[in-house]
Amino acid sequence: MSRPLVAILSGAGISTDSGIPDYRGPRGLWTLHPDYEKLVTIGSYMADPEIRCRSWQMRRETYALNPRPNAAHRAVTQLDQSGAVALRVITQNTDGLHQQAGLPARKVLELHGTSRSAVCTACGARIPAEDAFARIDAGEPDPPCLKCGGILKTATVMFGENLDPSVLDQAAAVARACTVLFAVGTTLRVYPAAGLVALAADSGARLVIVNAEPTPYDEIADEVVREPIGEALPRLLRELAPA
């Protein structure tokens, strides 16, 4: 008998217990600092060296926090390791914490790219983000590409950039095929990621939303959970693979 496919759509809220602030919550980055959106908007980033310097500094500060996977990330990995279900994670996060928690990279679809790498906007060369941060620490506030001199950025999808179509196609296929979809720590207001929830529900999946604030999809959800994610998600996932 084939195992049921469980999909987890994770947003910034799943990583707040790891010390990474969310974006649109009451204490979120965009809420407290509306001008920060410019730091992750591709047009502003490419046009303004000052914006690039501030953007790199913001990334550097997050890196310095050395965030580690929390109970929610570990619970996802434990469900995968139980063998009770086929698991796929579709994440809006760029922090790599699902993989750090032990989930195989092939089971994680990073819709918005990764902050663990940096990429040249001119020639496409990639380097570890920590190499760029080391150059910043050494006195280069806006480090250019060492191969061609082009503008370097983290390998994240900024506002104004398109998602990788192959990653989005894979995510849509998972949404159509899954038996249950957990939307965890996401406001479900950013598209096309939020549209995956409707796609899963229309395809007959059970929809469980775990988020502190209301979302536009609460009305069609089979279950809405407002408890802290680090407590609620491990409990919900244990129900899928009881010891």
CA-based Rg of the chain, rounded to a whole angstrom? 18
**Looking at residue 188, which CATH number applies to its domain?**
3.40.50.1220
Q: Helix, strand, coil proportions of the chain in percent (round to 5)?
A: 40, 20, 40
Out of 156, 182, 216, pick the residue that ends a domain.
156
Spans of the chain below 50 pLDDT: none
Co-location of 125 and 225 in the same domain: no
58 and 75 in a single domain? The answer is no
Q: Give the dihedral of Cα atoms 128, 14, 54, 110; nearest 10 deg.
A: 40
Residue 16: domain span:
1-20+70-112+162-243
Report the alpha-carbon distance of residue 201 to residue 209 in Å, rounded.
Answer: 12
Give me the sheet containing 113-120, strands edge to edge: 126-128, 113-120, 152-156
Per-residue pLDDT, 243: 58
pLDDT at residue number 66: 86
The Cα angle at residue 203 between residues 198 and 208, in degrees rounded to 5: 55
Axis crossing angle, helix 129-137 with helix 49-64, rounded to the nearest 10: 110
DSSP secondary-structure letter at 159?
B
Do 13 and 79 have their domain in common? yes
Question: Can you tell me which residue has the tokens 């900024």?
Answer: 158
Same domain, 89 and 32: no
110: helix, coil or strand? strand
Compute CA 241 distance to the chain's CA centroid, rounded to the nearest angstrom. Answer: 25
Cβ–Cβ under 8 Å, residues 96 and 114? yes
Q: What domain count does the chain have?
A: 2
**93 lies in the same domain as 74:** yes
**Quick one: 84 and 126 in the same domain?**
no
> What number of H helices and E strands is found in the chain?
9, 9
Whether 89 and 37 map to the same domain: the answer is no
pLDDT at 190: 86
Residue 106 confidence (pLDDT): 97
141 lies in the same domain as 54: yes
Domain co-membership, 197 together with 230: yes
Write out the catalytic residue numbers. 112
Burial per residue of 140-178, b for 16 or more beta-carbon CB atoms within 10 angstroms, e otherwise: eebbebeeeebbbbbbbbbeebebbeebbeebbebbbeb
pLDDT at 26: 59
What confidence score (pLDDT) does residue 25 get? Answer: 60
Query: Given the structure tokens 């244990």, which residue do they identify?
Result: 238
Q: Are residues 233 and 141 in the same domain?
A: no
